[in-house]
Structure 1
Amino acid sequence: MESKNNSRPILVLFLTVFIDLLGFGIILPILPLYAEQFGAKPNEATLLVAIYSLMQFLFAPVWGRFSDRYGRRPVLLLTLFGSVIAYTGLGFANSLWMLFLARSLAGIMAGNISTAQAYIADITTPTNRARGMGIIGAAFGLGFILGPAIGGLLIGSDPDNANFHLPSLFSGGLSLFALLCALTLLPESLNSETKAKLQANRHRRRRLNLLQLSQRPQFCVLVGIYFFVTFAVAAMDSTLALWSKQQLNWGPQQTSYLFAFMGIVSTIVQGGLIGFLKKNFGEIKLLTLGILGLGLGLLLIGFSQSLSLLLVATTLVAWGISVSQPLLNSLISQMTAPEEQGQILGIASSCSALARIVGPTWAGISFMKFGSDSPFLSGFLVMIVALVLSLRVTKSASESNKERVA
């Protein structure tokens, strides 16, 4: 299945996801302040952020099933078009309910990430799939590095006359450009064999339910790890600025530089190193090392009182994120039939979105009730659970190998 002809679709997909995430990165830091312009209270501003992940959680499996049935390309084009409408609506919003409507639509369309992952699974082999998923991860990293910086430039330096409309409209323009790239350069990834199988099973196929998924223990374990990793990362993301202000007396600029540093580390690992590391360690062992690094990094953040220790901690965190997430996507896709790729990856993406709802909610409560270090220390405890689960995957893989040899 893999050939040199796949390099262009992967490049176009990287560009499409990067532009999409760049627009997301531009908007995310300014959303709470944007909501305040319409009289939103802090809890309402936080809900404006959470509703995006909620809609993504609900609709990612829907887009996954549609992509299995109708193809990856139509779903990607439709969701990119929807993103253009969502960002444009955000730019022209003149009330709080319009902000919520625009962000809800953006969250619905954000379910296309699982479709992009299914596209990668279609055009790669199990041998190089982790590298393909890593390229998507690199697009995430670059988007989160450049997005907030561009948003800060567009909104202006005067907080009393901030231009909240321009960043939103600029993001809409980026999504339109991504749509044009996909429309003109991205072919359909589902091959004729898979399409024929889909058509043959069309009347017999049913939506996967919880009972069916419970009969796939390896899948459940991997999705559980995915949830815990995303939970810990989302909790850290939502409270790191508050923690750095309280513990290090930092302002938003220093915290932004720290996020950019983590993004750079993640991009280097996902874009260039993950293929080499996978070849030398194997996917499952490398996943365990990534989870271990993420947990230790979160623990060290809670004890960091100097910049040098904090840089070590965030390097470990960035390593853990950039290794574990693409490997989890790769392992999940490898144990899934071709005609179920979109649906299964959509379910995994929904679990990740659910963690991005629950993680910040817990982090805010624990930050206020148990102290500023508690979100990171609780993230470390969650990573211990994820580590135990990853060791279970390692044990199962070892037993399977022994059975094959026997």
Structure 2
Amino acid sequence: MREHRAKLGTLFLIVFTDLIGFGMIIPVLPLYAERYGPGAFELGLLLSSFSIMQFVFNPLLGRISDRFGRRPVLLVSLLGAAVGYAILAAADSMFWLFVARVVAGVFAANVSTAQAVIADITGPEDRAKGMGILGAAFGLGFIVGPGFGAVLDLVAPWLPGVAAATCSLTAFAMAWFLLPETLVKGGRPARRWLDLGALRETLARPAVLAVLAGVLLMITAFSMFEATFAQFLERFLGLVGTEHRARIYGFFVYAGLLAAIVQGTLVGRLSRRFGASRLVVAGGAIAAAALLAIPWAGSTPALLAVLAVLALGQGLAGPSLSAVTSTLVEHDRVGGLMGLYQAMSSLGRIVGPIAGQAALGLGGAVAVYGIAAMLDILMALLVAAALHARPAPARPLVE
């Protein structure tokens, strides 16, 4: 048990360090692109290219991790990310910016592989806790990274790319020296190195399809919020102008910190008492209620209270849904399934901002957050129905 806790702590540091680097690129990538005068479509395609590649390649890399182990795939993913960031730092045209984001997206299997590691080293009763700790690392990296990226960009425009590459190489070194292989030999499929038939068989299971659809709905809903919230603050709270940028960023940091606290401290305890499945449903309902309330929060204190409720709902639902998903297949297919999970997350991050901006333009904040709330409610109902009807989950292999 102590050994598994050590692996979990190591995994937290690896993901946190790598996600700091990923987060550094978020605020500066549009600024890099604007130097070359791209059109709106070209800029949108650049910003989406990472998620598109992740959508295509994550299931394949996940399946490879079922065959060769988690550690090799995680190492290759981290190294690929470092190469992508290095290309970004040296890019002198839109072509090379696209190359950088495509390379990073192709190898972006760090989170799905880390989720598979959690499934390897935890039993069903502790799975949500492990996923929650991983989610906290993810969230904290996203909080710290953009701030560093914005500051480094003021020093030199190539510096965020170099710093991000350094973060990924640091995470690579930690994985190389500190993280042993977690997939036991008996858990590896005796099939050819890439068995796409196994992915098709996995997708043929109704519970898997329903839960993956739930992932898409949940991430789309939250991405709609993320993509429009700064505009909401500008239009409805009057935070217009560069002097309010720090305050707008502060709202995101506040919500992210609360979600990380929920994931890192509450999810494990509550899942042991109520079960991960119930936390998915409850979290979806809580998040939906918060989204519905956002347009009516007319003051900063009210909005902070609503964001706290949203962080609670999202913090409960996200890692619990990851935990539930990992129990839906035999252990030798978990890597492939978590790759599909992250593929649906990537698709949600592509669809969500587009849907959010369209809804904001057509119906304002009420439309955006009303639609997002409906998606969360639909996710909760879909997952509840699927898990109620499913057979008993496969027994995990835990050393």
The interval holding the TM-score normalised by the smaller chain is over 0.9
How many Å apart are 1:215 and its aligned residue? 4.1
**1:284 and 1:393 in contact (8 A); partners too:** no
1:213–1:219 Cα contact (<8 Å) kept: yes
Question: Is contact 1:31-1:45 (8 Å) kept?
Answer: no
Gap change, CA 1:375 and 1:202, over 3 Å in 2? same
**Rounded Cα–Cα distance in structure 2 between residues aligned with 1:244 and 1:208:** 46
Shift of 1:53: 0.8
CA distance in 1, matches of 2:384, 2:222: 20
User: Are residues 206 and 88 of structure 1, via their aligned partners in 2, closer, same or farther at CA, if it must alter by over 3 Å?
Assistant: closer
1:300 to 293, 305, 314: 293
Distance 1:312 1:204 in 2: 48
Distance 1:340 1:126 in 2: 16
Does residue 343 of structure 1 match 2:332? no
2:63 aligned with 1:65: yes
**TM-score relative to the length of structure 1:** 0.91
Paired position in structure 1 for 2:3: 5
1:167-246 → structure 2 map (5 Å cutoff):
167-195=160-188, 198-199=189-190, 201-202=191-192, 207-208=197-198, 210=200, 212-213=201-202, 215-246=204-235
Match of 2:376 in 1: 383
| 1:122-150: CA deviation from partner (whole Å, max 9, x where unpaired) | 11111111111111101011111111111
Give distance in 2, aligned partners of 1:176 and 1:400.
41
Q: C-alpha deviations, 1:364-397, integer Å up to 9, x for none?
A: 2222232244221210121221232133146437
Q: CA deviation at 1:181?
A: 0.9
SS at match of 1:130: helix
User: Given the alignment, which residue of 266, 278, 283 partners 2:259?
Assistant: 266
Select between 298-307 and 74-83 the one with higher mean Cα deviation: 298-307
1:121 aligns to what?
Answer: 119
How many residues are paired up? 389
Deviates more, 1:379-388 or 1:348-357: 379-388
How many angstroms apart in 1 are the aligned matches of 2:392 and 2:346?
31
Aligned partner of 1:239: which letter? T
Tell me which residue corresponds to 1:81.
79
1:287 to 273, 280, 292: 280
Partner of 1:404: none
1:92 and 1:273, CA in 2 relative to 1: closer, same or farther beyond 3 A? same
CA contact (8 A) 1:32 1:46 kept: no
Alpha-carbon distance change, 300 to 5 in structure 1, aligned in 2, over 3 angstroms: same
- Measured in 2, the distance between the counterparts of 1:148 and 1:255 equals 13
Q: Deviations over 1:194-252 (max 9, x none)?
A: 23xx23x4599652355x34542222221111111000011111111112111112232
Residue-by-residue CA offset, 1:283-330 (whole Å, 9 max, x unaligned): 222111100111111111122221122112211221122111111111
Q: Counterpart of 1:32?
A: 30
* Aligned counterpart, 2:385: 392
> In 2, distance between residues paired with 1:316 and 1:48?
33
Alignment of 1:46-57 (within 5 A): 46-57=44-55
- Tell me how far 1:400 sits from its aligned partner: 7.2
CA contact (8 A) 1:297 1:312 kept: no
Aligned to 1:142: 140
RMSD of aligned Cα (Å): 2.0
Deviations 1:39-96, CA, capped at 9 Å, x for gaps: 1234432322211111110110111011111111111111111111111111111111
User: Quick one: which amino acid aligns to residue 229 of structure 2?
Assistant: L
Contact 2:58 2:112 in 1 (8 A): yes
Q: In 1, are the aligned partners of 2:208 and 2:325 still within 8 Å (CA)? A: yes
Contact kept in structure 2, 1:61 and 1:350, CA below 8 Å: yes
Which residue type is aligned with residue 192 of structure 1? K
Q: What does residue range 79-118 of structure 1 map to in structure 2 within 5 Å?
A: 79-118=77-116
Gaps of 5+ in 2: 394-399
| Worse-superposed segment, 13-22 or 146-155 | 146-155
Q: Which amino acid aligns with 2:333?
A: E
Conserved 8 A contact 2:139-2:259: yes
- Structure 1 residue corresponding to 2:249, chosen from 252, 256, 259: 256
Structure 1 position 17, deviation (Å): 0.7
SS of 2:26's partner is helix
1:277 to partner: Cα distance: 1.1
Runs of 4+ in 1 over 6 A off after TM superposition: none
SS of match in other structure, 1:371: helix
Under a length normalisation based on structure 2, what TM-score does the superposition of the two structures give? Answer: 0.92
Question: Residue 317 of structure 2 aligns with which residue?
Answer: 324
Q: Return the alpha-carbon distance in structure 1 between the equivalents of residues 278 and 365 of structure 2.
A: 33
1:334 equivalent to 2:327? Answer yes
| 2:118 pairs with 1:131 | no
